[in-house]
Structure 1
Amino acid sequence: MEHIPVLGIILAGGKGERLSPLTKQRSKPAVPFAGKYRIVDFVLSNFINSGIYSIYVLTQFKSQSLLQHLSDGWQFSNLLKNQFIIPVPAQMRKGAQWYQGTSDAIFQNIHLLELAMPELVAVFGADHIYRMDVSSMVAYHQEKGAEGTVAVLPIPIAEAVRFGTMEVDQDWRILRFLEKTDNPPGIPGRPGWCLASMGNYVFSGEVLKEELQRDAADENSSHDFGKDILPWMTNNHVLYAYDFHRNVVPGEEKNRGYWRDVGTIEAYYEANMDLKSAEPALNLHNLDWPLRTAEYHVGPTKFISDAQGHQGQAMNSIICEGCILSGCQVIDSVLGRRVHVQNGAELNETVVMDNCRIGPGAQVRRAILDKNAVIPAGERIGYELAEDRKKYHVSETGIVVVEGRRSRIPLSPVTI
């Protein structure tokens, strides 16, 4: 059994503009998902479960929520110096400017590569929902003698304009890499389909360092992996594609290839709604590949009757810890932690984040309630979209997004 030093770098600086208003006060990786998790928890869990324990998380836009989450839930002890998860905010070490692209984010922190001198570097995004055994991709990279490996999955050609696409030979060596083109190379034998980059890469450490330095000196470059680094490497290095569908995660043998881009309100909503089904495509209860997050000390969930004896009920729903359901009905919904649904209220097909309050008699359907949202007694949301648009954000397909209140930060008193 071979032991290979791998440095994990997570690109977690995405704005997530298409997810607005959920990204109004946070970056996309910090957006809550599936009740108690954050989007960034998926890539972090994949790294940890794959045996990658040396991780830098590069942040940039609206990073406070993400930094707080990493502090609350993703800290190792300081006993082993080669096991760490360290957030790295943009520091402008190479000039007075933000990161200009995905590769520039790493170039501006190239000192981290120089200090670690890793044999391999796993560069992954933090924007998607999936499970992946990264060690299998690392083994494939070594087996092929690759200098760079790109995780790929087949998508309809009609969707290619949002992704990097590529042409490969019979051995899956990449012959061409095209970023966000409307005319991608197709997959032989699969008309209408192409290979899309997942934005997840494994590089040989020295090759990555050399390529970052070369690209940084190119004034015509946009300093992006998809637009600049990978097309260049295709012609000058050994670059392979790794088929995501060959990746087997323990406990997920029946659900190979689950991957969701939750970059729009519609995609985010539908991915959450799928979780409440009897056999969801993403199994949150897989103990062989645990999904980790920050844990909070809250009480257990309880269902109680109101003064008239109406029992709090939930059907086909996910209810996280600390919730109180009092004489209400929750149907086909996903509730985060410490949600209080009061007497006579009804929730239907709704995503509710932590610490929300739904007042007595309120009715909410096909909606997303951001953290700390308060729904007044008797309020109706999702029934008259014209009225909803006067107060809330309504997506193109009629999903209502209710913004929450800012969280208060408790302060320790000073005794005088």
Structure 2
Amino acid sequence: MTQRMDTLVMIMAGGKGSRLGPLTVHRSKPGVPFAGRYRIIDFVLSNFVNSGYRRIYVLTQYMSSSLIKHLNRNWRLSGFGEYIEVVPAQMRLGEFWYRGTADAVYQNLNLVRDARASHVAIFGGDHVYKMAVDQMDVFHRDNNADLTIAAFPVPKAEASAFGIIHTDGRGRIVDFIEKPADPPEMPDRPGWSLVSMGNYIFKREVLERSLVDDGGEPTSRHDFGRNIIPKLVAEGARVFVYDFAQNRIPGEPEGVAPYWRDVGTIESYFQANMEIRARVPSLDLYNRQWRIRSAQRDYPPARCVRAGEGFGPAEVDDSLICEGSIIASAKVSEVMLSYDCFIHAGAEVSDSVILSGCDIGRGAKLRRVLLDKNVHIEPGAVIGYDAVQDRERFPFVTETGIVCIPKGTVVPAHGPCILANDLAELIGNEPELLSQLRPGTFVVSMQSRHSYESATGPRFKKFAGGEVQ
């Protein structure tokens, strides 16, 4: 049996992603749209499928409806004995949800036992990167490792959000600290820390024993980083680090810097989109030997057109424009524009991320804005040109001034934002988000508008009378 056939894959896709604020009030973090036409989970699934793995379970829990729909529609394998199967939380061990990352696998140990695989790969579903997983698998087996952890150096200032790894200089892990306030630096690289990517390959028997032991500990947080890994290291198990920087993707030029991003905050999510949108993108989506797979939609090609007689041309610079979107006599610069969007005449949009189904009205001006799906910006609205005014008017603004508009919101030229009914209800159930909705910054739609309704409307109406409406 080949190593790929002998390795079971489990993708952790139940995370809430609370630091992404309004983007995850109605969907799980792995289900968040990214780079115009993908969802975050598409990257890890593409890595495994491109690497030849065909037995994959996706463990879901929080707000999983849209994620499950995406997986069922777009990630089906048809070969004998091949599957990508969604596994919602089932409460097999009692009337409680997953209590931690390790508990999610523990509650599904029946799947591990039924698969009879010698090794189990457990990867997070909420990071953006490309990785040939089979190379890590070979490293794991060559070292006869009980556990192998993929790792990547990050600046010390960012490292406290991750598990920190210290090795003996030969690849064996001698210490593991989960999310320390003062992360230790790498001995040979001052100012940087070696962090866990949250991607693991276990020997099956080691995984089973560790999870069963941990499941019986009443004081445990049932977490791989806080409990399972430190205990294995302390017991002297063969725990090795796999250097992600050594991973080579087929079709990529030699010397390409490895790319891995934890898009866990609005700031990091926005920046990662900008890195992929850039003139020279940090992560290449055009490598034919390593496609990032996603939904195949039936939208027509994108259009950059004049709005009609007497209008100037559409001006587009350093932007990524997805299928079905129309830019009509508008200016677009450094924008990640998703599918099925419409930017009307005279509008100016720069340095922004626009998710699908958004409509930006005539003369509107947007800068450093993140629009969730189906947002309608009314004609003449201005966002991103006055930091003080933005913070007074909009409820969700980051420290650096990125304005995040929730799904289905209507933004008039003046006055409060109009939240869709269903999203307002969800925000009302999240105390942290609700606390950011200051009086006067929003009203709730009284016309039964739901956030899943595209703001662009029927396409044929846009060109009525020979002029874009």
In structure 2, give the amino acid aligned to 1:67: I
Whole-angstrom distance in 2 between the partners of 1:362 and 1:163: 40
SS of the equivalent of 1:18 reads: helix
Residue 407 of structure 2: aligned partner: 404
Tell me how far 1:185 sits from its aligned partner: 4.2
Residue 89 of structure 1: aligned partner: 88
Residue 6 of structure 1: aligned partner: 7
Residue 349 of structure 2: aligned partner: 347
Residue 281 of structure 1: aligned partner: 282
Whole-angstrom distance in 2 between the partners of 1:273 and 1:160: 22
Whole-angstrom distance in 1 between the partners of 2:339 and 2:141: 43
Is the 1:158–1:182 Cα contact (8 Å) retained in structure 2?
no
Whole-angstrom distance in 1 between the partners of 2:358 and 2:200: 38
Residue 414 of structure 1: aligned partner: none
Residue 248 of structure 1: aligned partner: 248
Residue 67 of structure 1: aligned partner: 68
Tell me how far 1:309 sits from its aligned partner: 2.9
CA-based RMSD? 1.6
Residue 338 of structure 1: aligned partner: 340
The counterpart of 1:310, out of the listed 304, 309, 312, is 312
- 1:277-300 residue CA offsets vs partner (Å, 9 max, x unmatched): 221111111111110001111111
Whole-angstrom distance in 2 between the partners of 1:313 and 1:404: 27
Tell me how far 1:194 sits from its aligned partner: 2.4
Residue 265 of structure 2: aligned partner: 264
In structure 2, give the amino acid aligned to 1:26: R
SS of the equivalent of 1:208 reads: helix
Residue 174 of structure 1: aligned partner: 173
SS of the equivalent of 1:191 reads: coil
In structure 2, give the amino acid aligned to 1:60: Q
Whole-angstrom distance in 2 between the partners of 1:337 and 1:160: 34
Residue 414 of structure 2: aligned partner: none
Residue 131 of structure 2: aligned partner: 132
Is the 1:255–1:282 Cα contact (8 Å) retained in structure 2?
no
SS of the equivalent of 1:274 reads: helix
Residue 221 of structure 1: aligned partner: 220
Residue 413 of structure 1: aligned partner: none
Residues 1:183 and 1:369: Cα distance change in structure 2 (over 3 Å): closer
Is the 2:120–2:201 Cα contact (8 Å) retained in structure 1?
yes
1:393 aligns with 2:392: no
Is the 1:276–1:318 Cα contact (8 Å) retained in structure 2?
yes
In structure 1, give the amino acid aligned to 2:386: E
In structure 1, give the amino acid aligned to 2:238: V
SS of the equivalent of 1:21 reads: helix
Whole-angstrom distance in 1 between the partners of 2:361 and 2:226: 50
- 1:209-235 residue CA offsets vs partner (Å, 9 max, x unmatched): 111111101112110000000011113
Tell me how far 1:39 sits from its aligned partner: 0.7
In structure 2, give the amino acid aligned to 1:321: E
Residue 23 of structure 1: aligned partner: 24
Residue 149 of structure 1: aligned partner: 148
In structure 2, give the amino acid aligned to 1:162: A
- 1:290-346 residue CA offsets vs partner (Å, 9 max, x unmatched): 100011111111122123231122111000011111111111101000111111111
The more displaced of 240-249 and 267-276 is 267-276
Tell me how far 1:184 sits from its aligned partner: 4.1
Is the 2:35–2:277 Cα contact (8 Å) retained in structure 1?
no
SS of the equivalent of 1:152 reads: strand
Whole-angstrom distance in 1 between the partners of 2:337 and 2:306: 19
- Give the TM-score normalised by structure 1: 0.94
Whole-angstrom distance in 1 between the partners of 2:337 and 2:255: 26
Tell me how far 1:3 sits from its aligned partner: 3.9
1:32 aligns with 2:33: yes
Tell me how far 1:349 sits from its aligned partner: 0.7
In structure 2, give the amino acid aligned to 1:378: G
Is the 1:317–1:334 Cα contact (8 Å) retained in structure 2?
yes
Q: Which runs of 5+ in 1 are unaligned?
A: 410-416
Whole-angstrom distance in 2 between the partners of 1:273 and 1:345: 20
Residue 432 of structure 2: aligned partner: none
Whole-angstrom distance in 2 between the partners of 1:392 and 1:185: 37
SS of the equivalent of 1:393 reads: coil
SS of the equivalent of 2:45 reads: helix
- 1:96-138 residue CA offsets vs partner (Å, 9 max, x unmatched): 1111110000001111111111111110001111110100000
In structure 2, give the amino acid aligned to 1:243: D
Tell me how far 1:158 sits from its aligned partner: 3.0
SS of the equivalent of 1:111 reads: helix
Residue 157 of structure 2: aligned partner: 158
Whole-angstrom distance in 1 between the partners of 2:87 and 2:3: 26
Residue 368 of structure 1: aligned partner: 370
Whole-angstrom distance in 2 between the partners of 1:364 and 1:288: 37
Tell me how far 1:395 sits from its aligned partner: 1.0
The more displaced of 94-103 and 298-307 is 298-307
Tell me how far 1:383 sits from its aligned partner: 1.4
Tell me how far 1:2 sits from its aligned partner: 4.6
Whole-angstrom distance in 2 between the partners of 1:278 and 1:383: 24
Is the 2:326–2:341 Cα contact (8 Å) retained in structure 1?
yes
- Give the TM-score normalised by structure 2: 0.84
Is the 1:149–1:241 Cα contact (8 Å) retained in structure 2?
yes
Is the 2:394–2:403 Cα contact (8 Å) retained in structure 1?
no
Number of equivalences? 407
Tell me how far 1:183 sits from its aligned partner: 4.2
Residues 1:102 and 1:329: Cα distance change in structure 2 (over 3 Å): same
Whole-angstrom distance in 1 between the partners of 2:144 and 2:234: 16
Residue 109 of structure 1: aligned partner: 108
Tell me how far 1:64 sits from its aligned partner: 1.0
Whole-angstrom distance in 2 between the partners of 1:165 and 1:231: 11
- 1:41-60 residue CA offsets vs partner (Å, 9 max, x unmatched): 11011111111111111111
Whole-angstrom distance in 2 between the partners of 1:261 and 1:165: 15
Is the 1:385–1:398 Cα contact (8 Å) retained in structure 2?
yes
SS of the equivalent of 2:166 reads: strand
Tell me how far 1:392 sits from its aligned partner: 4.3
- 1:6-49 residue CA offsets vs partner (Å, 9 max, x unmatched): 11100011111111111111111111111101111110111111
SS of the equivalent of 2:154 reads: strand
